[in-house]
Amino acid sequence: MSVLAASSTLDVSLGAWAILAVVVVVLLAVDLLVFARHHAPSLRESAVWSVGWLVLALGFGAVLSLWQGGQAGSEYFTGYLLERSLSLDNVFVFAVILGYFAVPRAVQPSVLGWGIVLALLLRLVFILIGAALLSSFQATFYVFGLLLLYTAYKLARHDDIEIEPERNPALRLVRRVLPVSQDYDGEKLVTRRAGRRLATPLFAVFVVVATTDLIFAVDSIPAIFAVTRESFIVFAANAFAMLGLRALYFLLVGMRERFVYLSYGLATILGFIGVKMLLVDLWHVPIWLSLAVVAGVLGLTAALSLRRTAPPGARERDRITRPQAVKER
């Protein structure tokens, strides 16, 4: 009997979906209207908000576990960690895009916020389509698995390292259809110059951020379906992973050069998930093992990256003080 056919189905009503939608909308509104409103957030502010979003995400997982059982909770936590780890790549790509368009730092939170809102809506469409395909066609799992293996291969070879916003097809369409002004006008997407209504460069940035994240969804949505086939859990994990993306951006953007092994770590995670999907009818990988692999690879990647890129002075102090500490014992 197929593992897919044997998978359990959550008892999730339309009312539960409505509650989740309200919670996500309210939290998005809080994020957009409170965090970094009309100013560039400090490192401390970004750290506090990042911790807050993490607590909310873990709290939702705890509620889900009490409501639907430990299996559903484990699937959510694994999916959340997977989406959160993949979002690290999003953060650094966003940095490239905002730098390319020379977006003022004070305006960056607004761009990221509205781009994430649109991307989340588009991801919901992806999730529903993916769930329908998996329910109707067994082969979809193998297609997703091969896609993830190909993506892992590209990440390991750094084939996707060049981000060229000027080649974004959505941006080309915007410039072809709408006249775009040369200068920014605060946080306005549309401005008026010499009696003409023009789209500002911020509108173009917004389009590029949203469509770029949609491209990332092509990898992350199939990956989380290897963890759970429940659309409710898939969307919840995506939503809570993306809710804190703005705060995470301002917390980590200055550390981009230090995560030198990130692509290898993500390639390993996606490769593992891809193999898991290809073996779905032969071996059911336990959720705890998936969680351990994702967490372990992500933690090891971060530790090795930070150690590899530690300032020379810090490495020298560590080399000198370590023998002294041993000698004192």
Most confident of 34-48, 76-90, 177-191: 76-90
| Predicted confidence (pLDDT) at residue 255 exceeds the cutoff of 80 | no
pLDDT (0 to 100) of residue 4: 40
Q: In the chain, pLDDT over 70 holds for what percent of residues?
A: 87
Q: Where are the domains of the chain?
A: 23-319
| Predicted confidence (pLDDT) at residue 328 exceeds the cutoff of 50 | no
| Predicted confidence (pLDDT) at residue 317 exceeds the cutoff of 70 | no
pLDDT (0 to 100) of residue 107: 84
| Predicted confidence (pLDDT) at residue 170 exceeds the cutoff of 80 | no
Range name among 33-42, 51-60, 226-235, 308-317 with the lowest pLDDT average: 308-317
| Predicted confidence (pLDDT) at residue 3 exceeds the cutoff of 60 | no
Contact 250, 41 (CB under 8 A): yes
Q: Rounded CA gap, 215 and 238, in Å? A: 14
Strands, E, within the chain: which ranges? 190-193, 196-199
Within 13 Å of residue 136, how many CA atoms lie on the same side as its CB? 6
Contact 248, 91 (CB under 8 A): yes
Angle at 61 (CA atoms; ends 57, 62), nearest 5 degrees:
115
Q: Rounded CA gap, 238 and 119, in Å? A: 11
Q: Pick the residue with more confidence: 75 or 198?
A: 75
107-124 pLDDT, tens digit per residue, is: 888 888 887 888 788 888
